[in-house]
Amino acid sequence: YFSWEVLRFLLSNLRMWIEDYRFDGFRFDGVTSMLYHHHGIGTGFSGDYNEYFGLHVDEDALCYLMLANHMINFLHPECITIAEDVSGMPALCRPVAEGGGGFDYRLAMAIPDKWIQIIKELKDEDWNMGNIVHTLTNRRYEEKYIAYAESHDQALVGDKTLAFRLMDAEMYTNMSVLSPLTPVIDRGIQLHKMIRLITHALGGESYLNFMGNEFGHPEWLDFPRKGNNESYHYARRQFNLTEDHLLRYRFLNTFDRDMNKLEERFGWLASPPAFVSEKHESNKVIAFERAGLIFIFNFHPYQSYVDYRVVIWHHSLIVIFKYKILLDSDAAEYGGHQRLDHSTEYFSEEYPHNYRPNSLMV
């Protein structure tokens, strides 16, 4: 139970961090534990609405969260609030005026877990395209999600970064451009780019990068503690790795820069959710359209395609749309194999495909 004094203390705390320390927002940790009397312990949330409404909901805690978000939004509308909620509480990220929780965003926590699970447990040929798409698109309409490919938990001691999961010990020996491009490093670099781009473009309404993920940082993060003799050795990110032109980290970093610049130009994060036209299990191809861009991902471990037809969302039978390659993970500047001709122009045509009237041959 929250007394009025406790409420005043908590709310004044929020104001202090914003007004005295110039914080520009808050991530509310472990919101699920606050929302329910059972604290989410031993509870699997399937999406059934009975799981979100009833006497098991802690109304005092929910009321505090609504008050906190309302106060922050009223006094400092430039600030954002983010909920870390694994339960998927409906309307948690809708305005308080609508009866919602008032958060601006929620973390799409299933996405980084999914990538790690796939990489750890499945062979490349067993990746399930439908399962990947479902995880990236399984969110409540008009509640904004923060998508991320890697979480801070994965980069702490005892776990591995996404890049290290993909390439492991070879990162210490074969990331130099002077050494041969091994299958492990080649696969790791290409998948690292694709995983980030599909997460960015399909997974939410904003994108979160964990420090070092943008260039495939190899090592974990560890702060001084008794267990490591108070060492600062791993309490760091080696940003110098991107500046060494003899190392392949710069390819990953350049791709990340151009991916974000392309989003700035077209604004897919602020656009409605993507229209997914293909999740082909045997071809290992995912295709979707968002913000007027067509995204095509080939996750097949060894098969490339020519003259591959994909759906175009538009209905017009009169206007012909012209497309050009804007971002290509296979480009040389990103450590790719340069298999696509960037001067090629692609035109929409009235040719039915995947139950749509118009398509494009790429």
In the chain, where the domains are located:
4-107, 275-361
Q: Among residues of the chain, what percentage have pLDDT more than 90?
A: 78
Task: State the pTM of this model.
Answer: 0.93
CA distances to 20, 30, 45, 152 from 191, in Å: 43, 31, 31, 20
Beta pairing partners, 293: 290
At 68-122, the pLDDT tens digits run 999 999 999 999 999 999 999 999 999 999 999 999 999 999 999 999 999 999 9
**What is the model's pLDDT at position 2?**
62
Structure tokens at 91: 């309307």
Active site (annotated) includes residue 24: no
CA distance 302 to 126: 13
Active site (annotated) includes residue 29: yes
At 281-327, the pLDDT tens digits run 999 999 999 999 999 999 999 999 999 999 988 766 677 889 999 99
> Is the model's pLDDT at 187 over the cut of 90?
yes
Residue by residue, DSSP assigns 137-164 as H-S-TTS-EEE-S--GGGGBTTS--HHH
**What is the model's pLDDT at position 315?**
63
Q: Which residue has the tokens 């067993």?
A: 126
Could you say which architecture CATH assigns to the domain 275-361? Sandwich (2.60)
**What is the model's pLDDT at position 355?**
82
CA distance 320 to 248: 40
Whether 60 and 1 have beta carbons less than 8 Å apart is answered as yes
Beta pairing partners, 221: 156
Q: Is the dihedral of CA 85, 86, 91, 94 positive or negative?
A: positive
Q: If residue 313 lies in a helix (H) or strand (E), which one and from where to where?
A: none
The number of residues in the chain equals 362
Mean pLDDT value of segment 216-243: 90
CA distance 268 to 289: 10
At 120-159, the pLDDT tens digits run 999 999 999 999 999 999 999 999 999 999 988 887 777 8
Mean pLDDT value of segment 258-280: 96
Which is the catalytic residue, given 60, 84, 159, 330?
84
Closest CA to 100 of 133, 144, 130: 144
Which is the catalytic residue, given 29, 125, 243, 333?
29
**What is the model's pLDDT at position 358?**
85
B/e letters for 44-71, b = 16+ CB within 10 Å, e = fewer, are eeeeeeebbeeeebbeebbebbbbbbeb
**What is the model's pLDDT at position 188?**
97
